[in-house]
């Protein structure tokens, strides 16, 4: 088996060649500790889940694996501990990635394994498609998820902040991954209840793959290149499908210019998340005022202009749509009403603008504008991404703040072959 050239001068990383894709001291397969093809966790005791897996997932390779003898959990633990020793994990156990497993991932994309996805010249490091496949496998993805991982990476790297060192920022920004199209149902991607919570394999493992890519290919590790002060809870776990079925508006990917029904990913770096729980009114103006209060708070303001969006639950979105508001109308309302008076900014010490850029700071007496002057936060619709997701069981939505500026674009998901049906939520 040929090896991919090692372009990165310094580990950590679970290998930048094929043989490093499986745990072991070198390319000799017999010398390698047992990988995930020979060791795994004990079988799921739930007969219902096993029945669902047999009924839904007909991939021949997995069928053959299930007919094999029960794996030895002690061997699995040894392989997992080997990955810990190598520094390849994010603190949680990873799936030891054998060469055979990584090849299954690569078979789902037409992209060259040696294609460089991104170089971080200031770190002297890069990530290839092959390295991404290793990390997606370790994250617990199924091979069918790999084209989504690649599309998510391509999408987030359209953001200027992601290209400019944002991954290492003291804010510890989190990628927000939103998936549109029929692929949501085909792969069991959660779009409704608990989109920001756990319990669904694609939702949990796809963003984790990006985190492992950053860690292992680029060395963005806490206390080293990662300079996060505190960070965002669930930084590498924010991924969901848009609830297109209950949304009154066009899908996010359609709003960015793609055709309806296209499988696509939108992704941007985010700084904060705050929910708006408003089941108290049926007046759309009052509802929007509540969102404006959360969007306009000064605590997260570091620039005089910013980008922030809303993940509306179906109830809130439908209330606004029933009042005759399109997604564009809602954005325009926010552009007009979200902001603060100079007096409020002054109380927070953020009523000035840095001489070296748009950063907020405390203004001197001579710089201060009249106290009642209103300063809007958003300059245009591109600053206010709107998504519909979650369950229709309570009027609770989520406000998120973009780290920098979203590219306002989506990336189609491209498969080398049609994905097999995957286990939903398991």
pLDDT range class, residue 251, cuts 50, 70, 90: very high
Residue 285 maps to a domain:
yes
Residue 48 maps to a domain:
no
Residue 7 maps to a domain:
no
Quickly tell me which residue has 């300063």 as its tokens.
Answer: 375
43 pLDDT higher than 80: no
Residue 64 maps to a domain:
no
Whether the Cβ atoms of residue 342 and residue 360 lie closer than 8 Å to each other:
no
Dihedral angle of Cα 147, 150, 153, 159, to the nearest 10 degrees: -80
Residue 305 maps to a domain:
yes
Predicted pLDDT at 122: 78
Query: What is the pLDDT of the chain when averaged over all its residues?
Result: 83
Residue 237 maps to a domain:
no
> 359 is in which domain, residue-wise?
271-402
Residue 145 maps to a domain:
no
pTM of the shown model: 0.81
170-205 pLDDT, tens digit each: 888 999 999 999 999 999 999 999 999 989 999 999
Lowest mean pLDDT segment, chosen from 125-139, 302-316, 327-341, 344-358: 344-358
Q: CA of 413: how far to CAs of 156, 207, 258, 421, in Å?
A: 14, 15, 12, 16
Within 13 Å, how many C-alpha atoms sit on residue 228's CB side?
Answer: 14
137 pLDDT higher than 90: yes
Predicted pLDDT at 69: 81
Structural domains of the chain, count: 1
Residue 280 maps to a domain:
yes
Using the 8-state DSSP alphabet, how is residue 368 labeled? P
Q: Quote the CA–CA distance of 187 and 144 in Å, as a whole number.
A: 8
């Amino acid at each position: 088996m040929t090896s991919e050239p090692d372009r990165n001068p310094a580990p950590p990383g679970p290998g930048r060649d094929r043989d490093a894709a499986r745990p072991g001291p070198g390319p000799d397969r017999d010398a390698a500790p047992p990988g995930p093809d020979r060791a795994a966790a004990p079988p799921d005791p739930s007969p219902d889940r096993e029945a669902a897996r047999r009924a839904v997932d007909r991939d021949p390779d997995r069928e053959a694996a299930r007919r094999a003898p029960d794996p030895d959990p002690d061997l699995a633990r040894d392989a997992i501990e080997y990955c810990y020793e190598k520094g390849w994990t994010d603190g949680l156990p990873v799936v030891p990635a054998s060469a055979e497993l990584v090849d299954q991932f690569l078979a789902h994309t037409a992209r060259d394994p040696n294609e460089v996805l991104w170089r971080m010249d200031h770190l002297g490091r890069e990530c290839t498609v092959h390295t991404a496949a290793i990390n997606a496998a370790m994250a617990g993805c199924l091979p069918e998820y790999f084209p989504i991982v690649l599309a998510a990476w391509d999408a987030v790297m359209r953001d200027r902040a992601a290209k400019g060192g944002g991954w290492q920022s003291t804010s510890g920004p989190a990628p927000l991954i939103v998936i549109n199209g029929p692929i949501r149902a085909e792969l069991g991607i959660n779009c409704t209840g608990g989109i920001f919570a756990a319990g669904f394999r694609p939702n949990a493992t796809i963003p984790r793959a990006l985190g492992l890519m950053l860690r292992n290919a680029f060395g963005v590790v806490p206390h080293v290149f990662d300079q996060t002060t505190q960070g965002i809870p669930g930084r590498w776990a924010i991924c969901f499908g848009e609830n297109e079925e209950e949304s009154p508006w066009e899908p996010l990917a359609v709003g960015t210019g793609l055709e309806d029904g296209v499988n696509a990913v939108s992704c941007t770096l985010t700084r904060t998340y705050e929910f708006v729980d408003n089941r108290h009114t049926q007046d759309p103006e009052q509802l929007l005022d509540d969102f404006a209060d959360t969007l306009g708070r000064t605590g997260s303001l570091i620039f005089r202009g910013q980008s922030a969006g809303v993940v509306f639950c179906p109830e809130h979105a439908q209330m606004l749509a029933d009042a005759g508001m399109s997604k564009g109308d809602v954005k325009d309302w926010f552009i007009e009403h979200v902001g603060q008076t100079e007096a409020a900014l002054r109380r927070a010490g953020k009523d000035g603008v840095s001489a070296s850029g748009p950063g907020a700071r405390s203004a001197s007496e001579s710089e201060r504008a009249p106290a009642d002057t209103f300063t809007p936060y958003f300059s245009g619709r591109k600053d206010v991404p709107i998504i519909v997701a979650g369950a229709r069981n309570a009027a609770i939505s989520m406000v998120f703040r973009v780290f920098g500026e979203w590219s306002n674009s989506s990336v189609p998901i491209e498969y080398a072959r049609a994905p097999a049906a995957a286990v939903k939520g398991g």
